[in-house]
Amino acid sequence: MNKQEVHIVALHFIQHKIDALNSIYQETLSAAASDDAKSSAGDKHETAVSMAQLEQEKITKQINTLLEQKRDLEQINTSTPHKVIQKGSLIETNNGWYYLSIGLGQVKNSSFQFFCLSPQAPLGKLLLGKKTKETISFNGKTTEIKNIF
């Protein structure tokens, strides 16, 4: 596993999330348009329209957050090797692999899995500045840093 592969997988993962939310957004637009076409008078109609608008706003916020995370991820230079953990580091530990970039959680590929972790996350903050062979303790679990890429 190398940093460029992990980076690409993370980009595809976040794009997949964006595409899924865009699809849901389009479905809510279609449903709202369908409800509007029925145009039944009364509170029931008003409530349905209002609920659809709230759902669209919620989805729009989620999409915007993901787009911002994607921009952050795209700015990481994957060709720079790291000796000390910093944003953009791929970290091999005795408890798994971590990509210190954005907070996506566990990301799986057909051949490997890793955790996309934000430097602002509690575990990310503990990892920042650490070097190979150092250890951290998080949630009662000791983690040894094997390699940094």
62 and 118 in a single domain? The answer is no
On whether residue 84 sits in a domain, the answer given is no
Q: What is the pLDDT of residue 114?
A: 97
- Report, in angstroms and rounded to the nearest whole number, the Rg of the chain calculated over CA atoms: 21
Last residue of a domain, one of 20, 42, 74: 74
Closest to 91 measured CA to CA, from 51, 35, 130:
130
Q: What is the pLDDT of residue 43?
A: 58
Check: CB of residue 125 under 8 Å from CB of residue 111: no
Question: Which domain range does residue 49 map to?
Answer: 3-74
Written as six digits, the tokens of 51 are 């609920």
Q: What is the pLDDT of residue 48?
A: 67
94 and 48 in a single domain? The answer is no
Check: CB of residue 131 under 8 Å from CB of residue 86: no
pLDDT at 39 over 60: no
68 and 98 in a single domain? The answer is no
> Residue 109 — very low, low, confident or very high, per pLDDT cuts 50/70/90?
confident
More confident site: 55 or 132: 132
66 and 101 in a single domain? The answer is no
State how far the Cα of 91 lies from the Cα of 130, in Å rounded to an integer: 10
CA dihedral sign, ordered 114, 120, 126, 132: positive
Q: What is the pLDDT of residue 110?
A: 86
On whether residue 82 sits in a domain, the answer given is no
Inter-axis angle of helices 3-38 and 43-74, nearest 10: 160
> CB pairs under 8 A, 24+ apart, for 114-118?
114/1, 114/6, 114/9, 114/90, 116/10, 116/13
On whether residue 133 sits in a domain, the answer given is yes
On whether residue 105 sits in a domain, the answer given is yes
For residue range 60-89, what is the model confidence (pLDDT) as tens digits? 999 999 999 999 999 999 999 999 999 999
Mean pLDDT of 91-99: 97
Q: What is the pLDDT of residue 53?
A: 84
Cα torsion through 83, 102, 7, 112, rounded to 10: 90
pLDDT at 44 over 80: no
Number of domains in the chain: 2
Mean pLDDT of 96-105: 97
pLDDT at 33 over 70: no
More confident site: 120 or 38: 120
For residue range 14-28, what is the model confidence (pLDDT) as tens digits? 999 999 999 999 988
Strands (E), 10-88: none
59 and 95 in a single domain? The answer is no
Written as six digits, the tokens of 58 are 């919620």
Backbone phi, psi, residue 2, to 5°: -125, 165
